Amino acid sequence: FSKLSGEEYIPGGFSNLDQELEEELMNDFDDDFDDQITRRSRYISSIRSSNPTINVTRSPIELWQRARILIAIHLYKLQNKIPNLHNDISTTVDSSLKKTTNSADKSNYLGKLFEEKENTEERKIIFGLSVLKQFLLDSTQQYQYIDFYDIEQGYIIMCNITVQSPNIAIDQKNNSKLLVYSMNKKLLNDSCTVEFDCPFQFNFMICIPIFRLILGFMNIKKQQSLMILIGDASRKSIFLSKQEISDTIYSILYIHEVSMLFIGCMGRVFLYNTQPLQFISQPLFISELTQLPFHSTEPIIHICQIGIYRSIGILSNRYFILWQYVPTEKLLLKFCNPYRYDFIRCHYIPKYDYIVFAFIDGFVLIYQLNQMKQIRRYQYHWKMITDLKNNQNILLSSSLDHRINIWNLETLQHIYQYNTNEEIFQIDIIHENLFYYRTLQNIVIFKLNLHTLLFSMTKSKVLALKLFTHIQKIARVTVILEDYSCILVSPVSGCCLTYVPNTAKKPIKQILHDISRSSIYSLQFNGEIILYHTYNNPCVAQYKIQTKSEQYAITCMTLINPMRTHLFSLNATQISTEKSLGKQAIFFGHANGYISLFQGDSLIMEPILAHKNSIVCLETSRASMDTSNISFTNSEVLLSCSTDRIIHIWDLTINKSDESIQLIHIITIEQEKNISFETIKFLSMIDNFLVAN
């Protein structure tokens, strides 16, 4: 849209992402109305929490920008211009269509819809994770722990590996080695490998770049561990010194800025001074942290730095502790696990003051640390989460379920998932957009491309675009072309999913996509509606909906999700548990001024006389669902407009006597006559911003 500046650009989809990789990802429009997680216990899951959830309130400026976008879309439709878009999906569309049709004419027709590919490799855009370098061990070796140096010329990855030997005794430990991978910053493929024998098999290992040292930790027997200092590759990884620790080590945290090393053991945390490292000496033991509420049999499974508070976060299976180390040592916060499964990781994000908790079942909770109020909850892993890291505005998580998930921290939206086909034990950020993850026998260096583009440019002019969303399924975009055929596009991959041919060669008035039932409704100008199912490509007409007389002719239609209306909060589920609130309800506007409910499963409604004149627009509002005195923002409502330019806003409620749906009039808006005498053709509403044209 040429009227919008770069800052106001709203991405509509992700290019060249296979449809099989689509996750529960809504685009920016849908994200702002994603309330099922954050408001009024609407999150439908077997997981329940007694803690209230808090939504991030959007500013009036942002709401107004979105209203401007709606206006821009309408102006674009009037001007009938083709947007300057550069994504390429023609191959995906053509191949999928040829597989699903036996008609040569149909294939030729579809070929005319899209541009032919030119300079395919130059235009190719890969969304998501791109592998840059891979280090692979043979079947007899496994990575035990890794860390890296960031030096001026490149990166040095230090790896402690174990070597399986068929002749080793059961009660003996496997052989261990140190592998050193060096990479050039400019040419990541330019790498070399050095190998050293190592008598130690580390449970934890950290690299200290400024001193070019390796600090390793190994549990040798119950309640006894070793801290080992080793020189780096330039010193041929020579053994320097070792120090005993009288407990089993479960976690470590090194903070170079304050020369502190924290070691988490069984119910206690030890503090060491690391200044002696500059003299190639062992860290100096300072003290054991006091006032910790952990039991002596409760392991400290993770420690994270919380720099803003000059504190550390200490995690056991049951508790999260915020402990301040300067200027005075004291306990700031004790937080009990709110979930039924154990904590496994915690991670602090200073930019947003978020503390992220991960659980052994793959569940993720995000809290605002200063108030310890829950912000979001996610269930995108189904096994134990092994690591959490953030970089700029994204959060990464890895898991034993083979998956890496990525979230946008600005919108708290899940934006990408990658399947490695291996259990992931570690993930980290090397530099800006350079990452690695570790499996048992694999280290993969990768980068992320999370920029988005709109869809492929078509040869046929685009007459209308419409976004359709659902609270539990992926959003879809319908595109009406110049010949009144319709394309259904995924905003995730940018690919054509199916299309509706206009075999009758007649103009159509409106297209409606019911995601919950995989149906497309095509409203003709004569008032007839043709129903298609999206299972086929191209779509095949199922049946026709036609009124008995012109008086009741259908002039417009819309759909609304009952879960986003007041029906969900008015004890509707207690009145009739068998009612289907999960699927979308479809309403028709008629020439005689009535509004009727066409499709609502077990929901029923008597037609209501909404206007004295013919209804020309019927729409559903977009609401942030925030608790407010303004009813428009508490839930989604219906908007109707007639030929006399009178707009009504309707709320949905339940008649307890017969459990039918009722439309309750909220407010009437009448356009001043001196503004325009034309009939309103475009109607939309975001929270309490209404746009009519």
**Residue 25 pLDDT > 80:** no
**Under a CB-based contact definition with an 8 Å cutoff, are residues 298 and 340 in contact?**
no
**Under a CB-based contact definition with an 8 Å cutoff, are residues 219 and 203 in contact?**
yes
More confident residue, 27 or 651: 651
Task: Give CA separation, 538 vs 90, 508, 535, in Å.
Answer: 15, 18, 9
**Residue 217 pLDDT > 80:** yes
Alpha-carbon distance 397 to 400, whole Å?
11
Alpha-carbon distance 652 to 636, whole Å?
9
Amino acid 527 reads: G
Amino acid 443 reads: I
Give the architecture (CATH level 2) of 337-450: 7 Propeller (2.130)
Residue 466 burial class via C-beta count within 10 angstroms: exposed 0-12, middle 13-18, buried 19 and up: middle
Q: Count Cβ atoms below 10 Å from residue 689 Cβ, excluding itself.
A: 17
Per-residue confidence band for 515, with pLDDT thresholds at 50, 70 and 90 = confident
**Under a CB-based contact definition with an 8 Å cutoff, are residues 422 and 442 in contact?**
yes
More confident residue, 42 or 431: 431
Alpha-carbon distance 171 to 249, whole Å?
21
Q: How many helices (H) and strands (E) does the chain have?
A: 7, 46
User: Which of these, 173, 190, 172, lies nearest to 181 by C-alpha position?
Assistant: 190
More confident residue, 256 or 636: 256
Amino acid 460 reads: S
* Least confident interval from 453-457, 468-472, 589-593: 453-457
**Residue 22 pLDDT > 50:** no
**Under a CB-based contact definition with an 8 Å cutoff, are residues 467 and 474 in contact?**
no
- Contacts of residue 382, Cβ cutoff 8 Å, sequence gap at least 6: 361, 362, 399, 401
The model's pLDDT over 522-550, given as tens digits with 9 standing for 90+, comes to: 888 888 888 888 877 788 788 888 777 77
Average of per-residue pLDDT across 623-634: 57
What SS3 state is found at 335? strand
The total number of residues shown for the chain amounts to: 693
Give rounded-to-5 percent helix, strand, coil for the chain. Answer: 10, 45, 45
Per-residue confidence band for 359, with pLDDT thresholds at 50, 70 and 90 = very high
Per-residue confidence band for 9, with pLDDT thresholds at 50, 70 and 90 = very low
The model's pLDDT over 594-614, given as tens digits with 9 standing for 90+, comes to: 998 887 666 788 888 989 889
- Rg from Cα positions in the chain: 30
**Residue 12 pLDDT > 50:** no
Q: Residue 317's pLDDT is what?
A: 95
Q: Residue 36's pLDDT is what?
A: 37
Task: Give CA separation, 19 vs 24, 30, 420, 518, in Å.
Answer: 12, 19, 17, 16
* Least confident interval from 180-194, 228-242, 583-597: 228-242
More confident residue, 516 or 310: 310
**Under a CB-based contact definition with an 8 Å cutoff, are residues 582 and 472 in contact?**
yes
**Under a CB-based contact definition with an 8 Å cutoff, are residues 143 and 161 in contact?**
yes
Burial 273-300 (b: 16+ CB within 10 A, else e): ebeebeeeebbeeeeebeebebeeebbb
Task: Give CA separation, 353 vs 367, 376, 408, 492, in Å.
Answer: 8, 13, 15, 29
- Contacts of residue 238, Cβ cutoff 8 Å, sequence gap at least 6: 230, 231
**Residue 226 pLDDT > 80:** yes
Q: Which residue's entry shows tokens 């053509």?
A: 94
The model's pLDDT over 56-79, given as tens digits with 9 standing for 90+, comes to: 444 545 555 555 555 555 555 555
**Under a CB-based contact definition with an 8 Å cutoff, are residues 375 and 359 in contact?**
no
Alpha-carbon distance 11 to 435, whole Å?
25
Q: Residue 365's pLDDT is what?
A: 94
Q: Return the percentage of the chain with pLDDT > 90, whole number.
A: 27
Average of per-residue pLDDT across 366-393: 91
Per-residue confidence band for 474, with pLDDT thresholds at 50, 70 and 90 = confident
CA torsion angle 165 166 167 171 (round to 10):
80
Q: Residue 659's pLDDT is what?
A: 73
* Least confident interval from 258-267, 444-453, 617-626: 617-626
Q: In the structure encoding, which two tokens stand for residue 190, read together? A: 């330019």
**Residue 223 pLDDT > 60:** yes
Average pLDDT of the chain?
Answer: 76
Alpha-carbon distance 392 to 431, whole Å?
11
Instruction: Give domain limits for the chain.
Output: 1-127+451-546, 133-249, 337-450, 547-693
CA torsion angle 546 551 557 560 (round to 10):
-100
**Residue 291 pLDDT > 60:** yes
Per-residue confidence band for 131, with pLDDT thresholds at 50, 70 and 90 = very high
* Least confident interval from 54-58, 172-176, 266-270, 486-490: 54-58
- Contacts of residue 6, Cβ cutoff 8 Å, sequence gap at least 6: none
Chain centre to alpha carbon of residue 182: 34
The model's pLDDT over 490-514, given as tens digits with 9 standing for 90+, comes to: 776 667 788 888 877 788 888 888 8
**Residue 83 pLDDT > 50:** no
More confident residue, 550 or 621: 621
**How is the beta sheet containing 540-545 ordered, strand by strand?**
508-514, 519-524, 529-533, 540-545
How does strand 442-449 pair with strand 434-438? antiparallel
Average of per-residue pLDDT across 470-488: 82
**Residue 488 pLDDT > 80:** yes
Task: Give CA separation, 320 vs 334, 338, 612, 688, in Å.
Answer: 6, 11, 62, 41
More confident residue, 530 or 80: 530
**Under a CB-based contact definition with an 8 Å cutoff, are residues 487 and 502 in contact?**
no
Q: Residue 458's pLDDT is what?
A: 64
DSSP 458: B
Residue 215 burial class via C-beta count within 10 angstroms: exposed 0-12, middle 13-18, buried 19 and up: buried
